[in-house]
Structure 1
Amino acid sequence: MNILKIAFVFVGTIIGAGLASGQEILQFFTVYGVDGFWGIFLCLFLYMFFSIIIIELSNKYKFKSYKDFLDFVFGKFSFLSDFIYTFFVFSSNVIMISGSATMLYEYFHIDKRFAVILVCIVVLLISLFSTKGIIEFNSLVVPFSTINIIILGILVFFSEKDTFYHIIDIYKPFKTNWIASSVIYASFNIMSLVGVFTPMMEEIKNKGAFIKGSILGSFILTFIALIINYSLLCYYPQSFSKEVPNIYIARFYGEILPINLLIAIWLEMISTEISDIYSLSNRLKHLLKLNYSQTAIIIISVSIPFAFITFSSLIRLIYPLYGIISLIFLIISSLKAILIR
């Protein structure tokens, strides 16, 4: 298995629209000022450490889906964690459909109902290719997103170097506990990887490629986050009040880059949606006694009515709980991995 493609799946699963838009980096790192950069480097270590733990355990115990992993970690309490994880992934799936359809409506003036159906068709067509679909799609989307973010970073660096140092001198961080923020952010993201890597590793038996791909992916993610964090600080305070700060910054550098970033954000939403479908289908296909494709069709069909509902308040409630469970999961997984050596 190509190590680079594994790295792209790693990045595509984690990056999402929130990171590509700049909003996640703003909330978890930029608000801490210079310490935010240390937080990003802490995430690099956590990404590599926890992804290797997940790979080692998945390889040793041949987990077929995230349910098997949760059973291993939580034992008799796995039912609750399995329910929360499944609920969260399904909610994420619905939000990605709704969000990507909203982008088509707002920027391309496509009727929301038609946009939802269109997004679902695109996701279904890619999802039907299962593992191959998620690998090949991310192999296209991640380089496109990364290149455009790098271009933005280069333009900002050469035009705003003096601004950056000036802002660092005057900027007073809104928050100070950057370590906790980084740990929660990394745990949250790595947990999403469990649902993708466990069935993929069961199909593609190459532990070495997954470890090397995860390490490479961790460095790519860190580089992207550093660029975005630097750009956001250069355009403080305006960037802090924008819904999509990367698009706001890109508009200072012509008309093509904002469009490319807009496309990248939309594609990352689709990428996240495909990862969610992949995780859910591999979890539920045995429960429903159906094959992967049939399960994917059912999940997407059930998701359509919910895509017209605003889930923001629901996610505000479930995210903190999910973040705590993610951290507990990763700590126990690490302890078990150490004990079985």
Structure 2
Amino acid sequence: MFVNGLKWMFLIIGTTIGAGYASGREIWQFFGHESGLAIVLFTFLFCASCHVVLSISYTHQTDDYAAVLAELLGPRLSKGYDIIIIFYLFTTTGVMVAGGGAALEYFHVPFLAGVLFMCALLLIVAVKGVKGLTSVNSVLIPVLIISLGITLFSFFWLHANVADIDWKNQHNWPSAFTFTSLNLLPLVAVLSAAGKQIRHRGEIWIASIGSGVILGGVSFLYNESLLVAAEDIMLYEIPLFALLKSYPDYMTIFMALLLWTAIFTTAASGLFGLSSRLYSVVRMPMWALAFVLLCLMLPLTQFGFAQLIAFLYPLYGFLNLYLLIVVLIHPFYLKKRL
């Protein structure tokens, strides 16, 4: 039970920590000044949301998110959110593929070669299905979390101070809801496909609480570190590099590889969630479906990474506030219905 719980925990973290999160762009977009309380609220909201989605998926033994949406929103409204999720997964996975190619340019790999390399690895994971996805996350995510956590903690230890945080003025607390609702979309898409793989409810508790606490802690360290380097962030496409400017070159190289890992895990989760949903509509091999989707995503590689995050992420966060509310009240509604 414990091992399987950790497996789902890594899947959740791998789905959430993408290029936007790992680069710091997503953290800076939603949090920033006066956000300590917002990050604490996000931790609780995230734990609760993961638990509800996994519980529904386990109860109904789902293999795609259509049944979970129908349970939460009803048959009519779920169709609208189905379209939103498909569009979200398609656009963000396309951005991740582009980000993978751009990240490899740091190592003088041509952009197109980097994109094709990313696509080839994604196809391998798609062939393996949910077992391949969880296997990849079980290896990569611990390395990603530990490395990012050490980097942020060392920067925070040298440049920031918890005592300097003004806990009385926390006016940015509403961002906790939009940030959680943004990350709810990929969670619903990916975790809904895991219903038949969960063997015990204890796995759900381990995955939900573990992922929420880890992401909350990393988000707090990241945000406070970015506040210290706030004047330099505007000079960087990737805010993380603003924190690394005083570090040795080998550290920047290592974190660039780490960033590519975050991009890959998110792209793999997004492609898996999208493929599993469309498989029920288009009956073709998963690898062939994934191949077609990747080909269709290639035009998105022409758009800028920071610009897409600045436009799409707040929009998706706002659109999914209703879904977040429904997820949070679902346990109470279920008890009343029973």
TM-score in same-fold range (> 0.5): yes
How far apart are residue 165 of structure 1 and its match? Answer: 6.3
Q: Which residue of 2 aligns with 1:26?
A: 28
* Contact residue 251 and residue 257 of structure 1 kept, 8 A: no
1:240–1:29 Cα change, 3 Å: farther
* Structure 2 residue 222 is matched with structure 1 residue 228: yes
How many equivalent residue pairs?
A: 330
- State which of 187, 192, 195 in structure 1 corresponds to 2:186: 192
Q: Which residue of 2 aligns with 1:16?
A: 18
Q: Which residue of 1 aligns with 2:176?
A: 182
Structure 1 CA distance for aligned equivalents of residues 30 and 315 of structure 2? 17
Structure 1 CA distance for aligned equivalents of residues 90 and 80 of structure 2? 15
Describe how 1:58-207 pairs up with structure 2 within 5 A: 58-72=57-71, 73-105=73-105, 107-161=106-160, 177-207=171-201
- State which of 316, 322, 326 in structure 2 corresponds to 1:322: 316
1:29–1:317 Cα change, 3 Å: closer
1:201–1:63 Cα change, 3 Å: closer
How far apart are residue 311 of structure 1 and its match? Answer: 7.9
Structure 2 CA distance for aligned equivalents of residues 247 and 233 of structure 1? 14
How far apart are residue 96 of structure 1 and its match? Answer: 0.7
Structure 1 CA distance for aligned equivalents of residues 311 and 271 of structure 2? 22
* Structure 2 residue 280 is matched with structure 1 residue 281: no
How far apart are residue 97 of structure 1 and its match? Answer: 0.7
Q: Which runs of 5+ in 1 are unaligned?
A: none
Q: Which runs of 5+ in 2 are unaligned?
A: none
Q: Matched residue of 2:173: which SS? A: helix
1:17–1:316 Cα change, 3 Å: closer
* Structure 2 residue 290 is matched with structure 1 residue 296: yes
* Contact residue 182 and residue 314 of structure 2 kept, 8 A: no
Q: Which residue of 2 aligns with 1:213?
A: 207
Partner letter of residue 323 of structure 1? Answer: G
* Contact residue 10 and residue 138 of structure 2 kept, 8 A: yes
1:12–1:293 Cα change, 3 Å: same
Partner letter of residue 220 of structure 1? Answer: I
Q: Which residue of 2 aligns with 1:53?
A: 52
Q: What whole-Å deviation, never above 9, does each CA across 1:79-112 have from its counterpart, x for those lacking one? A: 222112101110111111111112222x122222
- State which of 259, 276, 280 in structure 2 corresponds to 1:265: 259
* Contact residue 178 and residue 314 of structure 2 kept, 8 A: no
Structure 1 CA distance for aligned equivalents of residues 308 and 22 of structure 2? 23
How far apart are residue 161 of structure 1 and its match? Answer: 4.5
Q: What whole-Å deviation, never above 9, does each CA across 1:24-81 have from its counterpart, x for those lacking one? A: 2222222x2xx31211111110011111111222222333212222233142132222
Query: Cα RMSD over matched residues?
Result: 2.4
Structure 1 CA distance for aligned equivalents of residues 102 and 320 of structure 2? 29
* Contact residue 40 and residue 222 of structure 1 kept, 8 A: yes
Describe how 1:234-273 pairs up with structure 2 within 5 A: 234-239=228-233, 241-273=235-267
Q: What whole-Å deviation, never above 9, does each CA across 1:234-270 have from its counterpart, x for those lacking one? A: 3332245432222221231322222221111111111
How far apart are residue 313 of structure 1 and its match? Answer: 6.4
Partner letter of residue 44 of structure 1? Answer: T
Structure 2 CA distance for aligned equivalents of residues 292 and 161 of structure 1? 47
Structure 2 CA distance for aligned equivalents of residues 286 and 303 of structure 1? 20
Structure 2 CA distance for aligned equivalents of residues 313 and 250 of structure 1? 22
How far apart are residue 219 of structure 1 and its match? Answer: 0.9
Structure 2 CA distance for aligned equivalents of residues 28 and 298 of structure 1? 33
1:211–1:98 Cα change, 3 Å: same
Q: Matched residue of 2:123: which SS? A: helix
Q: Which residue of 2 aligns with 1:40?
A: 39
How far apart are residue 294 of structure 1 and its match? Answer: 2.9
How far apart are residue 177 of structure 1 and its match? Answer: 4.3
Structure 1 length-normalised TM: 0.88
How far apart are residue 320 of structure 1 and its match? Answer: 4.2
Partner letter of residue 125 of structure 2? Answer: I
Q: What whole-Å deviation, never above 9, does each CA across 1:170-199 have from its counterpart, x for those lacking one? A: xxx9xx741221110011112211111111
Structure 1 CA distance for aligned equivalents of residues 147 and 121 of structure 2? 23
